[in-house]
Structure 1
Amino acid sequence: MAKQRIVRVDYRLIHGQVVAKWIKYHPVNRIIVADDELKNDDFMCDIYKLAAPGNEVEIVSVAELEETLNKKNDDVMIIFKDIRNAQRALENGVELVELNVGAVQTGKASQFVTSGVALTMEEFETLKQLDTQGLNVYIQPIPENEKITLESIANKIK
């Protein structure tokens, strides 16, 4: 089974910050993107695979994540497009080592909790539920920043 070095929510998926920063702080052999919609878009899959030279990139559905983790003994980064997909993975029985919340797509009901990270009340409640169930959930837009706990941002969500 693969060793999860970092599990991240980032709607941008694989981009410069992931390649230039995150995998330098958490070296991996493979990046796994778990997203049902992207899995069915061959063109975008090719684009994301080209975005991380020197790393194997697999794009799988959320339902395929556990099988993908089990097929190799290597170091991986898992990226979810949104909080709901991370929750679905857990509901499917995938054991995640942590959940780093980075860039979450903003909407009308979103409120910034720190620079670059905005959450809706529903997303915050989902994260609290996951944290209560024993998953280490924290917010950290870039690796140089300190990890931010859910408790420390609770008063910013209304």
Structure 2
Amino acid sequence: MAKQKIVRVDYRLIHGQVVAKWIKYHPVKRIIVADDELKNDEFMCDIYKLAAPGNEVDIISIAELEETLNKKDDDVMIIFKDIKNAKLALNSGVKLIELNVGAVQNGKDSYFVTSGVALSKEEFKDLQEMQEKGLDIYVQPIPENEKLSLESIKNKIK
């Protein structure tokens, strides 16, 4: 079974910051992107795979995550496009080691909690529910930033 080194929410998925920073702090052999919509877009899958030279990249559906983790004994980074997908994976029984909320796209009902992270009340509620199930959740856009707890940002969600 794969060893999860970091589990991250980042709407940009695989990009320079992931490859240049996060993988240096959490060395992995494989990046797993769990996203039902992306899995069916062959062109974009190829683009994301090219964005991580030197790493194997699996782009899978949420339903395939458990099986994908079990297929190899290696170090992995899991990336979800949004909080909803992370919650779906957790609710389907996938054991996640943590959830790094790194980049959440700003929506019309979102509140900025720190640079690059804007959460709606619903997203914050989902994070709280996942945390109540025992998942370690923190907000940290880049490795050099301090990890922010949900408790420390709750006053920013009005």
TM-score by length of 2: 0.99
Q: Which whole-Å deviations, capped at 9, do the CAs of 1:69-122 have from their partners, x for residues lacking one?
A: 000000000000000000000111100000000101111001000111100000
- Unaligned runs of 5+ residues in structure 1 are none
Q: Which whole-Å deviations, capped at 9, do the CAs of 1:115-138 have from their partners, x for residues lacking one?
A: 111000000000011111100000
Partner of residue 23, structure 1: 23
What is the SS of the residue equivalent to 1:85?
helix
What is the SS of the residue equivalent to 2:148?
coil
What is the SS of the residue equivalent to 2:138?
strand
Within-5 A mapping of 1:84-123: 84-123=84-123
Q: CA RMSD in A?
A: 0.4
What is the SS of the residue equivalent to 1:44?
helix
Letter in 2 for 1:37: E
1:34 CA drift (Å): 0.1
Partner of residue 50, structure 1: 50
Partner of residue 11, structure 1: 11
What is the SS of the residue equivalent to 1:102?
strand
What is the SS of the residue equivalent to 1:27?
coil
Letter in 2 for 1:117: V
1:45 CA drift (Å): 0.1
Alignment of 1:36 with 2:57, yes or no, is: no
Q: Which whole-Å deviations, capped at 9, do the CAs of 1:30-89 have from their partners, x for residues lacking one?
A: 000000000000000000000000000000000000000000000000000000000000
Letter in 2 for 1:144: E
| Deviating 4+ runs (over 4 angstroms) | none
Count of residues in correspondence between the two structures: 158
Check the 8 A contact 2:105/2:116 in 1, yes or no. Answer: no
In 2, Cα distance between the equivalents of 1:116 and 1:90? Answer: 24
Partner of residue 132, structure 1: 132
In 2, Cα distance between the equivalents of 1:53 and 1:68? Answer: 20
Structure with the higher strand share, 1 or 2: 2
The sequence identity of aligned pairs, in percent, is 79
